[in-house]
Amino acid sequence: MKIKIQGKHIDFPEPVTAREAAEKIHLTAPDQAVAVSINGELKDLSTPLNNEDDVQFWNFDDPLGKEVFWHTSAHVLAQAILRLWPAAQPTIGPPIENGFYYDFGNLTISDEDFEKIEKEVEAILTENFKTKRIEFPSKETAKQTFLHNPYKCELIDSFEGKISAYQQGEFVDLCRGPHMAALGKIKAFKILKTSGAYWKGDSNREMLTRIYAISFPDRKRLKDYLLILEEAKKRDHKLLGAALDLYSFKEEAPGMPFIHPRGLIIWNRLLDFLRECLGQAGYVEIKTPTMMSKALWERSGHWFHYKENMYTCCIEDREFAIKPMNCPGCMLYYKSTTHSYRELPLRIAEIGHVHRFEASGALNGLFRVRSFHQDDAHLFMRPDQIRDEIGNILRLADKIYMTFGLPYRLELSTRPEKSKTIGTDEEWENATSGLKNALDDWGHSYRINEGDGAFYGPKIDIHLRDAIGRHWQCGTVQLDMSLPQKFELEYVDSDGSHKRPIMLHRALFGSLERLFGILVEHFTGKFPFWLSPYQVRIMTVADRHIPYAEELAQKIRAKHLICDVDDTSESVGKKVRNAQLLKYNYMLTIGDKEVENKTAALRTRDNVVHGEIDISDFLVKVEKERATRDLLSPYSTAP
């Protein structure tokens, strides 16, 4: 039989399962072949293969591989808990961005129990159980298996279609799967924390015990991950934001940050940079209302599919909603005039203030908020322009991310199951090939996520990597065949006929608030000079040096640079320490010699003392540093 594996045809003399095929091509390492897709569908490795099957094995480094690895690991955690606390009631245990969690009823534990749980997990992994899929013939049969667990029975009642479970040793858990074939690939396991969580996220339901954990196919990865967690604590944007007086969070406005004067300096610099990039790339900018009528949201579909996340109100017997996204407003703008094919592509940007209801337990500093600003853009074009416009977006994204020193990776998500999408086969083919051809032209490597696109079109996601190797999904490019249809958007073609434009959604910052938080952690609060809210501090040795210090400060401020004077009675050493805590880029000390020579003694943020400098030369260098948005100081000692 002939099987297509990872794009290559391989002959097998006899029928094989996916796991046997992986072993025959030597994908046997713990991080290899942890999951498999057969003809585009995620399956168990025990699945028999048929002639001409198209097989893709997923390793731990692939998102699908991690998902299956961590989902299987969640079952190991539940098995360990039941061995130690037999009366506990497992509920759900999904994989998340970093690891997984499992919620339990009738369980109370503390941090002191973590070591005991990990030892039991280790014992289970040593037994290296094979996983077995069980399919129940009916809901009643499934409920008999979980008769003493009301949470599982409630889930079973809500299910439609086939109901399945997975067994490993004595442990059986309700699960749609797939799972890894055996538990032995899990080589490192760590409990991270525990917290409370309401059943189904409903504050009116029972409080459960949630256990967060993570696992890896080798111990080195776990060690590296724990080091990253320690480094992340030092970079926590919530703590740094308070220490640098950038922003704050108040009980009076949960999930809606207050930006302070120093934080607003960064905010405005980011917007200035963004608008400069948009102008150079041929965008126009609009502003649409924050609140619009229910009729608009019904037309866009949000009222039916997203209402629970929207803030609504009634005014003069009409229902309105505060916008959770900018798209429908831009559709109305497009329809406000007739468009010719000569205008296309039309690039329309909006830095819109949107509001979305997020559960209070999900809020997380600037990373997860209820009120935020999206740097949206909607690009309207002819089908033959898709490839070039995607290329233009990728070049714009590269310019923006490289300015911050943020490398990135690209992922292309293709059409989900046909029955769950809109648009014709031809439209999907044209749209997907347009995105793929643009990515090929761009020349960077990218990953294809088969079937992970939106119902209205394929998309490209951009994942940033920060200074300690964490990935953040910020940028996205989505091709939308739904909204132009719902809003009956048209342009007049060269032959006078009316045609529907192709539309791209595009966000590169994503959320301005979230990017702000990412940058705080990426730079550890030590912002490059152009972005810094603490650029220059002048420190006096004695009171007699204050007049010259103020004169110098005025000279620096005249260049539109941020400068202040520390003329307190503290020692110079204490003044330096205070400036370092606020992460000033440059510290200028003024003493008798500097007053006499009309100079200053320079110390940089990396604690290097450069000694006496000429002020005019200093200003030339830092003005250039600001103008070019350099990441490194001209006084840097870094190679």
Helix axis angle, 386-403 relative to 425-442, nearest 10°?
40
d(CA 503, CA 381): 6
Q: How far is CA 70 from CA 74, 95, 196, 245, 368, in A?
A: 6, 5, 21, 39, 23
In this structure, how many other beta carbons lie within 10 angstroms of the beta carbon of residue 169? 16
From the number of C-beta atoms within 10 Å of its C-beta (0-12, 13-18, 19+), residue 483 rates as buried
> Which of the following is catalytic: 235, 323, 459, 522?
459
3-state helix, strand, coil in the chain (%, to 5): 40, 30, 35
Residue pair 492/341 in contact by the 8 Å Cβ criterion: yes
The phi, psi pair for 581, rounded to 5°, reads -65, -35
For 58, the token pair is 């997923």
Strands 247-248 and 258-259: antiparallel
d(CA 175, CA 164): 6
In the annotation, is 374 catalytic? yes
Residue pair 60/34 in contact by the 8 Å Cβ criterion: yes
Residue pair 530/626 in contact by the 8 Å Cβ criterion: yes
> Which of the following is catalytic: 75, 152, 505, 506?
505
d(CA 199, CA 193): 18
For 353, the token pair is 């203030």
Q: How far is CA 529 from CA 75, 404, 533, 623, in A?
A: 49, 12, 8, 9
In the annotation, is 339 catalytic? no
Identity at 270, one-letter amino acid code: L
Identity at 583, one-letter amino acid code: K
The phi, psi pair for 282, rounded to 5°, reads 85, 25
The phi, psi pair for 277, rounded to 5°, reads -65, -40
d(CA 10, CA 2): 6
d(CA 98, CA 471): 10
DSSP state of 544: G
> Which of the following is catalytic: 32, 56, 79, 374?
374
In the annotation, is 119 catalytic? no
In the annotation, is 173 catalytic? no
d(CA 550, CA 230): 42
Give the CA radius of gyration of the chain: 29
> Which of the following is catalytic: 44, 375, 376, 466?
376
> Which of the following is catalytic: 210, 356, 415, 605?
356
Strands of the 171-174 sheet, one edge to the other: 132-136, 163-168, 171-174
d(CA 378, CA 350): 9
In the annotation, is 237 catalytic? no
Which residue's entry shows tokens 């539309």?
Answer: 503
Residue whose C-alpha is closest to residue 76's, from 259, 43, 84: 84
Q: What's 164-207 look like in SS3?
A: EEEEECCEEEECCCCCCCEHHHCCEEEEEEEEEEEHHHCCCCCE
> Which of the following is catalytic: 327, 330, 474, 563?
327
Q: Is 90 helix (H, G, I), strand (E, B) or coil?
A: strand
> Which of the following is catalytic: 19, 373, 378, 603?
378
DSSP state of 356: -
Strands 446-449 and 408-413: parallel
In the annotation, is 327 catalytic? yes
Identity at 456, one-letter amino acid code: Y
In the annotation, is 505 catalytic? yes
Q: Which residues are catalytic?
A: 327, 356, 374, 376, 378, 459, 505
